Structure 1
Amino acid sequence: MESMAESNKLHVVVFPWLAFGHIIPFLELAKLIAQKGHVVSFISTPRNIIRLPKLPPNLAPLLNLVKLPLPRIDEIPENAEATMDVPYNKVQYLKKAFDGLQTELTRFLQTSTPDWIIYDFAPHWLPAIAGELGISRAFFSIFNAWSGSFFGSSITMIHGEDYRTKPEDFTIPPEWVPFPSNVAFRLYEIRRFFNSVEENISGVSDWFRFGSAVIGCDVFLIRSCREIESDWLDLMQELHQKPILPVGLLPSSVQYREDDIDDTWHTISKWLNKQDKESVIYVALGSEVTPSQVELTELALGLELSGLPFFWALRKRHGLAEFHSFELPDGFEERTNDRGVVWTSWAPQLRILAHDSVGGFVTHCGWSSVIEGLQFGRPLLMLPFLGDQGLIARVFAEKKAGIEIPRDEEDGSLRRDSVAESLRQVIVEDEGKVYRKKAKEMKAVFGDKDLHKRYIDKFAEYLQNDRHGSRVLIAKTDLPSAKRKNLVLLMHAS
């Protein structure tokens, strides 16, 4: 007879989009589910699975890494299985290949009979398949609630009913935001964004993918917490009419790997140890961002003009010829050799940010990077490039956790003088004390492991209690009773 412990054990499938900015948060969530004693099948393509960080030995029996071969299409290189492997203008072809995983994933779900599947925005076809198989469905957004709310309801996305029809319309907060907000795009940002979300070679727009993923879910999971954006989480619930369940920020730990005493960290830490406390600018623009040659040059010359010590993680993206062609300004490394490092291979970002010598973080404002910077209290020097990065920058500029490095409002061009002035303002000038102080204050939320553990505990409880089909809309318990009555709904699976 099945024991009580066995009967409470779930099988959860986790299926992220093919971008490491998505894959890693999904993996973190999978590991936390496995820590609760549940069996997890984490699904991606072979090369992406190989590139994952090593799993802790205690989780290996519970967390299965499942490889589904990515269908080949001519427009992407043979070994390209993630967005970091292709130029930005080829990502839409990767989505076309991704849609080809439908048959193999369906076969896996039919034979493994999981209780839940946690999925990303891209597989618009997945909710219907899982529903037919009786599998509970959780959509997991790695984005925060203000970014998710900015684009409106899932119904609006699917049917193309947004009243905003031109880029200029997105440079002010949307009309459905009922509270003061500065969350909006710069004109150059939204022009770039428009180019990435319109209907494309896959035949399906990103709007439709996201909307379908949300409409088809039983619960909407989000990498966020009420301590940061309670108003936005409430708004998301009203917009999507789905249970919204924050899972916390999933802050990463500074993990010590088997090669802990390796040459990489030994070399980096030796240099950092020689620098003054909170004096170093750490520069890292993520694995997806490919700055133009002009942007790269202006950023480099701005670092030089600032006169400040810096560590620049400038990792080249393998297989992308256009990235390999980028060049630092003539003589830049020689002129800055006494106070700066340009690191062109993998860098242990968490360990660098945790080092006492780091005083500021030049970031593209990917949500994971912002979380990592603020969990160590590092003020942000924000240089957004793609997607929702501009919206994230608006919020943390308003919260005074850092400043945006100014760009030209029309074309987004960057100037070395603006870079240098911004760096000095945040790192050394009296004017920057407010940013340094506020970033340290935010560490109390972003770095609070106990707080985020409580969110995971509630999430795990929800998965367990909801396995038989009842859908309870999670509401904020301290809302006024009239509003809470409107938000708390009981739904039943068909």
Structure 2
Amino acid sequence: MEAKQANLSILMFPWIGHGHVFPYLELAKNLSTHNFDIFFCSTAVNLSSVNDVLANTSSSVSIQLVELHLPSAPELPPCYHTTKNAPPHLLPKLHEAFQMSNSSFSDIITSLNPDMLIYDGFQPWAAKIASSLGIPAVHFATAGAVPYSFYFHSFISATSAFPYEEIYLRDYERKAYETMVFSDLGVKKNDLDSAIGHFTLSCDVVLVKTCRAIEGKYMDYLSVLCKKKLVPVGPLVTHSNSEEGKHAEIVEWLSQKNKFSTVFISFGSENYLSKDQMVEIAKGLEASDVNFIWVVRFPPGERVSIEEVVPKGFLDRVQDRGMILQGWAPQTQILAHPSTGAFLSHCGMSSIIESIYFGVPVIAMPLKLDQPFNARLVVEAGVGIEVKRDENGGFGGADVADAINKVIVKETGEDIRLKAAELSEKMKNEEEDAINEAADQLRRVCMEHKQQK
């Protein structure tokens, strides 16, 4: 009879953005079923949301929440200690405050003395603190291998072209990318530690939220660049029985629509469209004459009605085939429904993975950060198309309608759906093995480190 493995403890420390906290939480839940005791560290406002999720999670999950204290500032009350709630103009201040939380984190990790730290890309200093205490640290990258390999290549082999021509940035995207990296994040062009320290400090392996079926060759190239073993952790899609029965009106509305007839439109929890962009999307939806569910969000603190950002009379004209939700929607439930035929998305990695996981083609409209890379990836994989843009990134209603029609209405959509279904099956087949392999690799790193002490 095989002996039961002893539990090891892991401190998980994500960046305080919604798109980082919840992939870390899903990984934490999975690892807790593989003989790991998890400490999960974030700000109080984030932990409140995490606690709501855990309240509807199996009692076998062992996760202890640990509060991170950010330096107090009048313009950053505790409710703003998450990128989801902070007004866009305060995000640089929030990033600065997070970097100043290292003393709070040092006290936490010293007190807990875990067997391992899993840390995010915004805080390589956390890995250094762990190392000073003799604790192995492993980086978990929530963005995929494509943007990271492109990013890594740009620092290490800046004079040569990226080896995969399907992945590129348009001029307006490159300018925004460089501004984000060198100005907003403060990365220094000739300082590899500030640029890629979160990879180089990782102990032997790097965990990545992806699957080989989607990003196999890019994982291999990134592994060569960073000289680490890349370990995919799978899609980390939330499976919650507690959602069943909720949002019944949305599910009922979808159930009255034909199979693959509805496009779902959402740009994530932290992306905000301009009024002009929303008007053009509305024009495209009206011109395409398809069913749709559109999630509309406005920046925190702005009081805007939906009527103010769509053409006059739009809501009346589409009331029988369109549903507009403000703020939030049960994304996985909508994507899993057979009536959903496409996802018009900003192409955040979590959204891309969820769409492919449920076999839903992607209509790509990337906005910033890693999103353009992810958009090129879905096009290369044959599971999506991009909305046509001008040289400044602008688009018109006709461009939106054309993209929707290619996926929902025209015969081209059938080929894209078949490829999305094939990739969905491959992703699901990898899912269990990926998390098992990740757990084995983390245990190996912990045990080897203990033996070296």
Output the TM-score relative to the length of structure 2.
Answer: 0.91
2:373 maps to 1:394: no
Pairing partner for 1:297 from 276, 279, 282: 279
2:315 maps to 1:333: yes
Per the alignment, residue 412 of structure 1 pairs with 393
1:148 partner amino acid: Y
Pairwise mapping of residues 64-79 of structure 1 onto structure 2 (< 5 A)?
Answer: 64-76=64-76, 79=79
Q: Deviations over 1:237-278 (max 9, x none)?
A: 11111222222222332x232x7434xx12111211111111
Distance in 2 separating the partners of 1:335 and 1:74? 46
Pairwise mapping of residues 47-126 of structure 1 onto structure 2 (< 5 A)?
Answer: 47-52=45-50, 53-55=52-54, 56-59=56-59, 62-76=62-76, 79-126=79-126
2:403 maps to 1:422: yes
Greater CA deviation, 191-200 or 297-306?
Answer: 191-200
**Structure 1 pair 163–322 and aligned structure 2 pair: CA distance change class (3 A):** farther
In the TM superposition, residue 316 of structure 1 has moved relative to its aligned partner by: 3.7
Number of residue equivalences: 446
The unaligned stretches of length 5 or more in structure 2 are none
Distance in 2 separating the partners of 1:362 and 1:80? 29
Q: Deviations over 1:403-437 (max 9, x none)?
A: 101110x2111110111111111101113222122
CA contact (8 A) 1:312 1:342 kept: yes
Q: Deviations over 1:425-469 (max 9, x none)?
A: 1101113222122112111123x1x52111111111122222133
CA contact (8 A) 2:272 2:298 kept: no
CA contact (8 A) 1:426 1:435 kept: yes
Per the alignment, residue 414 of structure 2 pairs with 433
Per the alignment, residue 216 of structure 1 pairs with 201
In the TM superposition, residue 290 of structure 1 has moved relative to its aligned partner by: 0.9
2:214 maps to 1:228: yes
1:49 partner amino acid: L
Per the alignment, residue 28 of structure 1 pairs with 26
1:256 partner amino acid: N
CA contact (8 A) 2:298 2:304 kept: no
The 3-state SS of whatever aligns with 1:152 is helix
Greater CA deviation, 380-389 or 320-329?
Answer: 320-329
Distance in 1 separating the partners of 2:61 and 2:219? 35
In the TM superposition, residue 129 of structure 1 has moved relative to its aligned partner by: 0.8
**Structure 1 pair 43–320 and aligned structure 2 pair: CA distance change class (3 A):** farther
**Structure 1 pair 323–46 and aligned structure 2 pair: CA distance change class (3 A):** farther
The 3-state SS of whatever aligns with 1:237 is helix
The 3-state SS of whatever aligns with 1:459 is helix
**Structure 1 pair 310–176 and aligned structure 2 pair: CA distance change class (3 A):** closer
Pairing partner for 1:239 from 225, 230, 235: 225
CA contact (8 A) 2:116 2:136 kept: yes
In the TM superposition, residue 86 of structure 1 has moved relative to its aligned partner by: 2.7
CA contact (8 A) 1:42 1:66 kept: yes
Pairwise mapping of residues 125-164 of structure 1 onto structure 2 (< 5 A)?
Answer: 125-152=125-152, 157=155, 163=158
Distance in 1 separating the partners of 2:431 and 2:420? 18
1:412 partner amino acid: G
Per the alignment, residue 255 of structure 2 pairs with 273
2:338 partner amino acid: D
In the TM superposition, residue 41 of structure 1 has moved relative to its aligned partner by: 0.3
Greater CA deviation, 75-84 or 28-37?
Answer: 75-84
1:54 partner amino acid: V
CA contact (8 A) 1:143 1:223 kept: yes
The 3-state SS of whatever aligns with 1:183 is coil
CA contact (8 A) 2:6 2:35 kept: no
2:448 maps to 1:466: no
CA contact (8 A) 2:214 2:423 kept: no
Greater CA deviation, 269-278 or 54-63?
Answer: 54-63
Distance in 2 separating the partners of 1:104 and 1:40? 19
Pairing partner for 1:187 from 150, 171, 179: 171
Q: Which has the higher helix share?
A: 2
Distance in 2 separating the partners of 1:240 and 1:61? 33
Q: Deviations over 1:62-103 (max 9, x none)?
A: 200111222233554552112222344432221111012211
Share of identical aligned residues, percent? 30
The 3-state SS of whatever aligns with 1:108 is helix
Output the TM-score relative to the length of structure 1.
Answer: 0.84
CA contact (8 A) 1:124 1:212 kept: yes
In the TM superposition, residue 225 of structure 1 has moved relative to its aligned partner by: 2.4
Per the alignment, residue 353 of structure 1 pairs with 335
2:53 partner amino acid: K
Distance in 1 separating the partners of 2:244 and 2:215? 37
The 3-state SS of whatever aligns with 1:232 is helix
Distance in 2 separating the partners of 1:307 and 1:72? 51
The unaligned stretches of length 5 or more in structure 1 are 165-173, 472-491
In the TM superposition, residue 181 of structure 1 has moved relative to its aligned partner by: 2.9
The 3-state SS of whatever aligns with 2:84 is helix
The 3-state SS of whatever aligns with 2:249 is helix
